[in-house]
Amino acid sequence: MDSVSDLKSKEIKRATLNELVEYVSTNRGVIVESAYSDIVKMISANIFRTLPPSDNPDFDPEEDEPTLEASWPHIQLVYEFFLRFLESPDFQPSIAKRYIDQKFVQQLLELFDSEDPRERDFLKTVLHRIYGKFLGLRAFIRKQINNIFLRFIYETEHFNGVAELLEILGSIINGFALPLKAEHKQFLMKVLIPMHTAKGLALFHAQLAYCVVQFLEKDTTLTEPVIRGLLKFWPKTCSQKEVMFLGEIEEILDVIEPTQFKKIEEPLFKQISKCVSSSHFQVAERALYFWNNEYILSLIEENIDKILPIMFGSLYKISKEHWNPTIVALVYNVLKTLMEMNGKLFDDLTSSYKAERQREKKKELEREELWKKLEELKLKKALEKQNSAYNMHSILSNTNDE
Amino acid sequence: MNHCPCFFRLKKGHGGSFRFLSQPIFWISDLQLPRRGPGGGRHQPIRVWVHPPRRNRTSGLSPASLGAGRGLGAKPAAATSRRRKNMAGAAGPGTGAGAAGGDGDDSLYPIAVLIDELRNEDVQLRLNSIKKLSTIALALGVERTRTELLPFLTDTIYDEDEVLLALAEQLGNFTGLVGGPDFAHCLLPPLESLATVEETVVRDKAVESLRQISQEHTSVALEAHFVPLVKRLASGDWFTSRTSACGLFSVCYPRASNAIKAEIRQHFRSLCSDDTPMVRRAAAAKLGEFAKVLELDSVKSEIVPLFTNLASDEQDSVRLLAVEACVSIAQLLSQEDLEALVMPILRQAAEDKSWRVRYMVADKFSELQKAVGPKITQDDLIPAFQNLLKDCEAEVRAAAAHKVKELCENLPIEGRETIIMDQILPFIKELVSDTNQHVKSALASVIMGLSTILGKENTIEHLLPLFLAQLKDECPEVRLNIISNLDCVNEVIGIRQLSQSLLPAIVELAEDAKWRVRLAIIEYMPLLAGQLGVEFFDEKLNSLCMAWLVDHVYAIREAATNNLMKLVQKFGIEWAQNTIVPKVLVMANDPNYLHRMTTLFCINVLSEACGQEITTKQMLPIVLKMAGDQVANVRFNVAKSLQKIGPILDTDALQEEVKPVLQKLGQDEDMDVKYFAQEAMSVVVQRLRKLDLPVKDCDEPSAPGADKNHFLRPRGPGEDAGKEGAAVRGGQSPCRAQVERLESSEASYILVAGSVAPNVPSSSSSLS
């Protein structure tokens, strides 16, 4: 498909498509039963294609300009026409479902990998309409999206249309019936949560977080597993992602029920305490902003006995040593707020702080000692074994590999 | 294809802030299992050391996280602390009885340590303890490993992927530790759980370990334990267990009984038509491997239909894996069956509408060619290959271009030349002026290989024009690829034919603005020198080699230095003395200290190649003179050079000339100069001592051994010696910081030395 040859024919095609679009959107009663087959055939012939390899093998969606589809001038019109067709008041899903079937949807979904954002935008609307009008295809569409996501997470880590698909899901989740089916919960825990590990999270994090929060608004009992899941995948080295995670946690805390909060406060605040003392000031700052949130503040106050001991150590420490003056100022405010919540506990913690640290140092030494003894024990055992003429040669060579 | 997406995440998880997981299961109750056999009663039940997970671990990598996650309020329950006290009495360090290490106590030790460590909040520590699992098992002995350690591990499989990965890997080598092949099946339960986790890397490792262990099973145990495991995985609910199962069929099939074999085939069949594409991909990837262990009849009756289905799967990611399987299947079938059963599908794959599938065909072309044999190659594959060479996607063309040489080599010798000349070469000619640089560079990397196949005349007439065109290509990679393969052509037509075009190409690459290109051409210099001969080299290329020594990129200067050494090895000492050494030594007076250091680096590598005489007479005086340089970097490199060339010098020179200079440098005001002078001194003194010469001043306080410690000791246990050193150096002169970055070897030396030192005092102090 060469985009520069045969310009005259291309122009004719474009004009015809334009005419078609015009025709279906202005006239009534023109979508007759016999036309469905040809319409779907025309659409399939034009938009279904194997997407070409990316021009830029190291394409970074955040940095690089996407390669735009060369045949867009007419493909756009085909999409346009498809959309008018689907949205036409004359459109009858009961007839169309003979042609718009699983195979059709499957091919449509593959196109979401297109590098051209204009195409993905059309696809998003098209798929949303199809999901709305074809009840029989809904489960199938969800399952295929599921597969695309799993492949994205665990196999290729590359799919251009993740954000668009999530956006569609966001609106679908809203309509799930209660109680949630096992299938939907599984999707949340086994697909959406692991998606947080993706390298290009920044590209679709807003949509992803929206989906997660939608789930939690539907069913609050999911809060605990979701937060534990996020904690499991908490970024270790990528500060940018850490800030996103913190944002998502805040969104979740905004809708959390106090009973659910009690279940996760300990692990959650241990993580927050680490974030607060991050040497990357944006991470620390984002975590400290939690204390500006009225609702979170009220949750903290209710559970101050649990939370203060977790937070105290790192807050105390960074108030003394963080390099960034803004952070230090924020920490002072937070410490002040916490002190007002429970002054006595605060004083106790301050006075025991040093002793606690000493004890930890001692434990560290003990641990080293343990390993050393173990090492000796291993040697001793190995000798015994050798003496008893048991051939341990292979095992020893195994252990020596370390 | 399937690069694990999460590999990086796993790799980089060692520092910075940690994500922490849901805590592993805490065993509050005593972990006591019935024990049989002699001496069973002697052991005390294992008491699990329960105390709150330790807090405030520093990772070492991120000082900033010190103090993070402290939980001051968490108080162990009363019962917990009591038990902990018991444990401390039994096995804790520093308490009288425990430290004495009675037999009963010893046996408690390992598992207590492991369990304690496995609970640690710090992933790194949990990881360390898992990596030492074999130590623990060895200390425990085989029986207790089986009855206590393995059940514990099976239950704790609820950790971070990194820990699980280490566990999966360890268990693969555990057969000996659980008592040999008779007990290998004890390892299956933990590995089965690991084979179902989400993370691909962990799962793959678990499957790898399972495959390893399967070989160690007895036939009976294989049917009793291993096959049921495979079946369970194959019918698991979630796709992960089914994908893992795909990799296990081929290892248990050959040793199973006929009835079981039929069942295994049945399971494999159903996975090939699984409705999750992930599972179909896994099955397609293992299809070839499975076909190899099947009986020929079953291959024809069962594998071929599966192959046909997978090769026409709706997803191209499945179809392309079928191409891989095609290679294995084709090897098993007779020519007739091949033609009837496999070729239609292969033809279809070569023209698949998805470029990924066509790419795969191109990529596997040599394997396919070997598998189908010469007849089908000629009838079917050559036309297919022509199509791939002019495919509309550059990726496919590049993959095919890569295979040109192999394809030609593997053609039957009879008639080979005609086929290449008539059916391949015309397409290659087109590719030389392809629009895509990857295609051209792929071709350039193999095209020279054709000259040996086609012989002198054809090479001169047909290939030479192509080489020359590529030597002028606008893309440096193409030119480099041609130059790097010159040896092939040299054998056939001699390099003279090319030298006129070669020289401008080399000069241009040598001056390319990208230092990586310059680096690449330097690497080929020794090769070129060997083929062009010393005269041509001296005349045309020598000046280039010298110019690189003063390049503004360190990596180029370094490569240029090594290049000189290789050239000397090729052209001999005399050549070095006349052409190289004088020029190098002149640089010792260069106003730029970086160039002065280059002299030292050159001497380091050249001294060995040049031998004692040149080193002593010409190089040593220059090095010694530079000891008075005003830049400290030069001075400590003098010390290092002296250490390096020491072994080449004779003892007189060492004693009379080197030692005084090193002694002087040992008193330098700069701590780094001092350090390296003392280092060098210790080596020199050692050498003199070996030669049985009296060493007068070895007992002086400035003797190297003592001073070395003196130098290292201030870097206490908690400090990062490497960082400290860098900071100090950085603080002294700005230009040196720049150099230090390049000379990472010293920094790492200090780091090693510094990290070893702290262990010495701690071993004795903390016990008492």
Sequential DSSP letters for B155-189: HH--S-HHHHHHHHHHHTT-GGGGTSGGGGGGGHH
Give CA–CA dist B449/B455, Å, rounded. Answer: 11
Tokens of A123: 């696809």
Q: What is the mean pLDDT of residues B10-21?
A: 30
Residue B9 vs residues A154, A157, B158: alpha-carbon distances, Å: 12, 12, 18
Contacts of B762 in chain A (CB under 8 A): 365, 368
Inter-residue contact B465 to B453 (CB < 8 Å): no
Q: Which band of pLDDT confidence, cut at 50, 70 and 90, is reported for residue B41?
A: very low
Residue B107 has a pLDDT of 54
Residue B335 has a pLDDT of 85
B75 touches chain A (CB under 8 A): no
Between these two residues, B544 and B15, which has the higher pLDDT value? Answer: B544
Backbone angles phi, psi at B31, to 5 degrees: -90, 90
Model confidence over A21-51: pLDDT tens digits?
A: 888 888 888 888 888 999 999 999 999 988 8
Residue A89 has a pLDDT of 86
Inter-residue contact B328 to B289 (CB < 8 Å): yes
A113-122, A212-221, A237-246, B50-59: least confident range: B50-59
Tally of CA atoms within 13 A in the half-sphere of B680 that contains its CB? 29
Instruction: Specify the 3-state DSSP secondary structure of B31.
Output: strand
A296 sits in which H/E element: helix A294-302
Q: Which band of pLDDT confidence, cut at 50, 70 and 90, is reported for residue B512?
A: confident
Hey, which residues 53-112 in chain A have their CB within 8 Å of chain B?
Answer: 53, 103, 106
Give CA–CA dist A297/B425, Å, rounded. Answer: 76
Q: What is the mean pLDDT of residues B681-699?
A: 68
Give CA–CA dist B741/B746, Å, rounded. Answer: 10
- Report the gap between the CA of A11 and the closest CA in chain B (Å): 24
In the predicted model, is pLDDT for residue B521 greater than 50? yes
Model confidence over B248-260: pLDDT tens digits?
A: 999 989 888 888 8
Q: Which band of pLDDT confidence, cut at 50, 70 and 90, is reported for residue A386?
A: low
Q: State whether A312 and B54 contact (CB < 8 Å).
A: no
Model confidence over A244-263: pLDDT tens digits?
A: 999 999 999 999 999 999 99
Give CA–CA dist A61/B94, Å, rounded. Answer: 57
Give CA–CA dist A115/A160, Å, rounded. Answer: 6
B363 sits in which H/E element: helix B355-363
Give CA–CA dist B175/A104, Å, rounded. Answer: 51
Q: Which band of pLDDT confidence, cut at 50, 70 and 90, is reported for residue B495?
A: low
Q: Where are the alpha helices (DSSP H) in B382-514?
A: 382-389, 394-402, 404-410, 416-419, 425-432, 437-447, 450-458, 464-471, 476-484, 486-493, 496-510
CA angle, residues B347, B353, B356, in degrees to nearest 5: 90
Q: State whether B70 and A242 contact (CB < 8 Å).
A: no
Residue B5 has a pLDDT of 33
Give CA–CA dist A51/A58, Å, rounded. Answer: 16
Of the partner residues B138, B353, B767, the one whose CB lies closest to the CB of residue A50: B353
Could you report how far apart the first and last alpha carbons of chain A are, in Å?
A: 56
Between these two residues, B331 and B93, which has the higher pLDDT value? Answer: B331
Give CA–CA dist A236/B16, Å, rounded. Answer: 6
B552 touches chain A (CB under 8 A): no
Non-local CB neighbours of A162 within 8 Å, separated by 6+ positions: A149, A152, A195, A198, A200, A203, A204
In the predicted model, is pLDDT for residue A267 greater than 80? yes
Highest mean pLDDT among A194-198, B176-180, B609-613: A194-198
Between these two residues, A29 and A209, which has the higher pLDDT value? Answer: A209
Nearest to residue B522, comparing CAs of B552, B482, B566? B566
Give CA–CA dist A330/A323, Å, rounded. Answer: 13
The complex's ipTM works out to 0.80
Return the percentage of chain B with pLDDT > 70, whole number: 74
In the predicted model, is pLDDT for residue B103 greater than 90? no
Residue B768 has a pLDDT of 32
Give CA–CA dist A190/B435, Å, rounded. Answer: 45
Inter-residue contact A318 to A328 (CB < 8 Å): yes
Residue B337 has a pLDDT of 86
In the predicted model, is pLDDT for residue A283 greater than 60? yes
Give CA–CA dist A20/A80, Å, rounded. Answer: 10
Which residues on neighbouring strands pair with residue B31, listed in sequence order? B46
A284 touches chain B (CB under 8 A): no
B260-269, B510-519, B616-625, B752-761: least confident range: B752-761
Q: Which band of pLDDT confidence, cut at 50, 70 and 90, is reported for residue B732?
A: very low
Between these two residues, A202 and B754, which has the higher pLDDT value? Answer: A202
Q: State whether A382 and B138 contact (CB < 8 Å).
A: yes
Inter-residue contact A205 to A248 (CB < 8 Å): yes
Residue B298 has a pLDDT of 86
Q: Which residue of A has its CA nearest to B107?
A: A377
Q: Which residue of B has its CA nearest to A186?
A: B238
Chain mean position to CA B654: 41
Residue A336 vs residues A69, A292, A341: alpha-carbon distances, Å: 57, 13, 9
In the predicted model, is pLDDT for residue A229 greater than 50? yes
Q: Where are the alpha helices (DSSP H) in A97-238?
A: 102-110, 117-133, 138-151, 162-174, 182-187, 205-218, 223-232
Residue A244 has a pLDDT of 95
Inter-residue contact A231 to A238 (CB < 8 Å): no
Contacts of B71 in chain A (CB under 8 A): 270, 309-310, 313
- Report the gap between the CA of A9 and the closest CA in chain B (Å): 22
Q: Which band of pLDDT confidence, cut at 50, 70 and 90, is reported for residue B91?
A: very low
Backbone angles phi, psi at B46, to 5 degrees: -75, 125
SS (H, E, C) A53-112: CCCCCCCCCCCCCCCCCCCHHHHHHHHHHHHHHHHCCCCCHHHHCCCCCHHHHHHHHHHH
Nearest to residue B126, comparing CAs of B177, B88, B161? B161
A371-385, B264-278, B379-393, B544-558: least confident range: A371-385
- Give the predicted TM-score (pTM) of the model: 0.71
In the predicted model, is pLDDT for residue B766 greater than 50? no
Residue B464 has a pLDDT of 83
In the predicted model, is pLDDT for residue A309 greater than 50? yes
Non-local CB neighbours of B326 within 8 Å, separated by 6+ positions: B288, B307, B311, B342, B345, B346, B349, B364, B368, B371
- Which runs of E-coded beta strand occur in B14-99? none
Of the partner residues B14, B70, B160, the one whose CB lies closest to the CB of residue A314: B70
In the predicted model, is pLDDT for residue B756 greater than 60? no
Give CA–CA dist B695/B705, Å, rounded. Answer: 14
Tally of CA atoms within 13 A in the half-sphere of A265 that contains its CB? 22
Q: Which residue of B has its CA nearest to A190?
A: B198
How confident is the prediction for chain B on average, in pLDDT? 74
Contacts of A310 in chain B (CB under 8 A): 69-71, 73
Hey, which residues 211-230 in chain A have their CB within 8 Å of chain B?
Answer: 228
Q: What is the mean pLDDT of residues B236-259?
A: 90
Chain mean position to CA B713: 35
Residue B691 has a pLDDT of 66
In the predicted model, is pLDDT for residue A400 greater than 50? no
B30-44, B148-162, B482-496, B648-662: least confident range: B30-44
In the predicted model, is pLDDT for residue B153 greater than 70? yes
Nearest to residue B599, comparing CAs of A383, B1, B607? B607
How confident is the prediction for chain A on average, in pLDDT? 86
Instruction: Tell me which amino acid residue B541 is.
Output: L
Q: State whether A103 and B314 contact (CB < 8 Å).
A: yes
In the predicted model, is pLDDT for residue B27 greater than 70? no
Chain mean position to CA A48: 28
Q: Which band of pLDDT confidence, cut at 50, 70 and 90, is reported for residue A142?
A: very high
In the predicted model, is pLDDT for residue A54 greater than 60? yes
CA angle, residues B105, B110, B113, in degrees to nearest 5: 105
Give CA–CA dist A202/A300, Å, rounded. Answer: 29
Q: Which band of pLDDT confidence, cut at 50, 70 and 90, is reported for residue B645?
A: confident
